[in-house]
Amino acid sequence: MHTFARLLVLALMLSGCATLPDVDPWLRYGGAQAPDTSEIRKPLTQSQTDAVVAKLVPKGDDSDILQRQAALEEAVAGTALVPGNAVTLLNDGPATYRAMFQDIERAADHVNIEFYTIEDDETGRRLAELLIRKRSQGVAVNVIYDAVGSLRTPREYFDRLREAGVEILQFNPVNPLEAKSGWRLNNRDHRKILIVDGKVAFTGGINISGVYSGGSVVSSERGGGSPEPGWRDTNIRIAGPVVADIQRVYLATWEKQRGEPLKPRKWFPELKPQGRQPARVIASSPGDAVPAIYVTLVSAIRNAVRSVHLTMAYFAPDPQTLEALKDAAARGVEVKLILPSYTDFWGIFHAGRSHYADLLEAGVEIYERQERLLHSKTAVIDGIWSTVGSSNIDWRSFLHNDELNVVILGRDFGAQMEAAFRRDLDNSERVALDDWERRPLDARVKEWAARFWEYWL
């Protein structure tokens, strides 16, 4: 994020001001009459969605609310709720990299990679060696990286992969002369995706970078550890039919960015059920008629009955998200936010803090994660609706970036999400309204300045 800040002025000069839509018309959609979706991909069958939801929640136990939420997601995202997936929650970089590299080792047909940041450090070099070895074995390897997110990565890193036969695509180059699909500096690819053989996929908040390699365990618990604290983040591994939807998003991005045509591979193998979790892929890009991730999240908060638990790296809410959180607290829903206590990008950090007083006065509980830099982007609502992905709760994620989240339904996975939330809560400090109102003047000035720019941060 800090690299992008240096290019902010230029982006402002070159970009128009998109706006977030009114969510209310979508929230009134109960499956019978949707808002105009002529510019959106047609939704898939609703009857299958209803059947899955009915199995998750007995009639009368919030089933109508969950069905309305599922109907809305289908309408705005154009993707089905797909049953039969095995979704594994991965806490922090070490667990994620271990699982990723094991699956890449097993690849027999192709490996598709898409990351905002790929760094030329120990983690990045381990990945490069593995990809080069798999390519030598005849496995197709395709890599999309964001030009700004990977700005500090030397070209030699990607040239080496290219020379080994790996297909490389730079998303929205900083140099307009290198752009193949129009030049939109402010549109960044913030997704973090790995797909292996079209059967297994990973996504979440973790890039390819050494900052995640230490994990988030306190040094004393590790018996020493590196001097640099590991970042706290979350990913998921998915095996099952919903992987096909992630694959479609990846291939669409490759085509949209006009990468070299990919040779035919088994992109969409037969995918049998691997587990019990219903899941839906929700992707968004600046050119979409409706920002699906945004509408989905606001709707889920407004539909909450018991609890809204958000863990968010970058938090600069728009007015509708802010009102949804405050309204939920007002009707007795337990609304808890875990946010960073420090950050790698001061602007978004102070923009988020500028909203604390408003939220605290409304009864929203705010906690700040200590000791480790928080980079997770997760939500669990009522213990049954969960999402993990790349999108933060800020204007940039909702309007300016390509993002991808996965929604997972079910109390089993929800319980895992709640357990992870409690662990972060144990390592966080609660922000009290009385203490917050006594914060120093220089903090207030930073918040005021950051709020002015939050649309672009």
Q: Which residues are catalytic?
A: 190, 192, 197, 375, 377, 382
The answer to whether 201 and 247 are in contact (CB under 8 A) is yes
Q: Which residue has the tokens 């018309």?
A: 25
Candidates 149, 142, 148; CA nearest to 169 is 142
Backbone angles phi, psi at 279, to 5 degrees: -145, 155
The answer to whether 306 and 334 are in contact (CB under 8 A) is yes
Q: CA angle, corner 305, sides to 301 and 308, nearest 5?
A: 45
Instruction: Tell me how far apart the alpha carbons of residues 276 and 241 are, in angstroms, rounded to a whole number.
Output: 11
Contacts 24+ apart (CB under 8 A), 169-172: 169/142, 169/143, 169/144, 169/145, 169/254, 169/257, 169/259, 169/260, 170/145, 170/146, 171/144, 171/145, 171/146, 171/147, 171/253, 171/257, 171/402, 172/146, 172/147, 172/148, 172/257
The answer to whether 109 and 103 are in contact (CB under 8 A) is no
The answer to whether 112 and 266 are in contact (CB under 8 A) is no
